[in-house]
Amino acid sequence: MVKQLSDENDLKQKTGNANDSKADEVSDSLLDSHDICQFLTFSVDKELYGVDLLKIREIKGWTETTRLPNSPEFMKGVINLRGAVIPIFDLKGRFNIGETIPTEKNVVIIIAVGDRLMGILVDAVSDIIEVESGEIKQAPQMETRLDDKFVSGLISIENKMVVVLDVDSLFDTSSLNIEGNLVSDM
C-alpha cells in the first residue's frame, strides 16, 4: 500500500533521517517486492516527479546563482552552500520543456550523485511517500516526456502519477552533449 506522510514538519524530519541512513544505493534489482522505499515527490511544470529519499541531502529555497560560463542552458550556475560550491540544474530545462524563471517560491533540492553534491531547481516540493518496491511500475515508452532511461519507474498514488527519476543517469555529465539537453528517443 502506498502511504502518504504529509505533515510539513514530518517532511523536514524525514529528510534529516534520510541523511543518517546507511546505504546510498538501494539497488532495485536486489529489492524484495515487499521492501519499503521512500521518495520525495515534487512538481515541475505541474507534473509530479520523485527522487529516492536516501539521495536527498537538503531542501532549500531558491537563491541567486553565479553563472558558470559555457555550460549547458539548463545549468543555472553555482551557489555557496555553507562554504561549498554547488551547481544548480533547472529540471525543466533538463527535460527540454522550457526554462524555469525562478522566484523565491521555487525550491532547490540538494542531492548526492556519486561523490558530488548538486541542486535541482523545481517548482515545489510535494510529499514524502512510502511504497513497497513491488508497487513501482515499469514506465511504458510513450507515457512520459522523457527518455525512459532517466525514469526508474512510475508510482500511482491517489489518481496521480509520480515519475521516479534516476538522478544518477540524469546528471551523468558524460551523457550530455555540448548543447546540453536531453536527447529523447521519442
Q: Which residues bind another protein (CB under 8 A)?
A: 64-71, 77-80, 83-87, 116-118, 173
Rounded CA separation 109/119 (Å): 5
Which region, left, alpha or beta, applies to residue 31 given φ > 0 means left and ψ of -120 to 50 means alpha? beta
To the nearest whole angstrom, how small is the minimum distance from the Cβ of residue 86 to another protein? 5
Using the minimum distance from each CB to another protein, give the nearer residue, 82 or 105: 82
> Which residues partner with 75 through β-bridges?
89
Using the minimum distance from each CB to another protein, give the nearer residue, 31 or 117: 117
CB 182 within 8 A of CB 147: yes
To the nearest whole angstrom, how small is the minimum distance from the Cβ of residue 57 to another protein? 12
Using the minimum distance from each CB to another protein, give the nearer residue, 118 or 162: 118
Using CA atoms, how far residue 152 sits from 62, 79, 108, 146, in Å, is: 27, 28, 21, 11
Helix (H) or strand (E) holding 93: helix 91-94
Helix (H) or strand (E) holding 114: none
Using the minimum distance from each CB to another protein, give the nearer residue, 35 or 172: 172
54: its cell numbers? 536516501
To the nearest whole angstrom, how small is the minimum distance from the Cβ of residue 140 to another protein? 33
To the nearest whole angstrom, how small is the minimum distance from the Cβ of residue 115 to another protein? 8
Using the minimum distance from each CB to another protein, give the nearer residue, 39 or 89: 89
To the nearest whole angstrom, how small is the minimum distance from the Cβ of residue 116 to another protein? 4
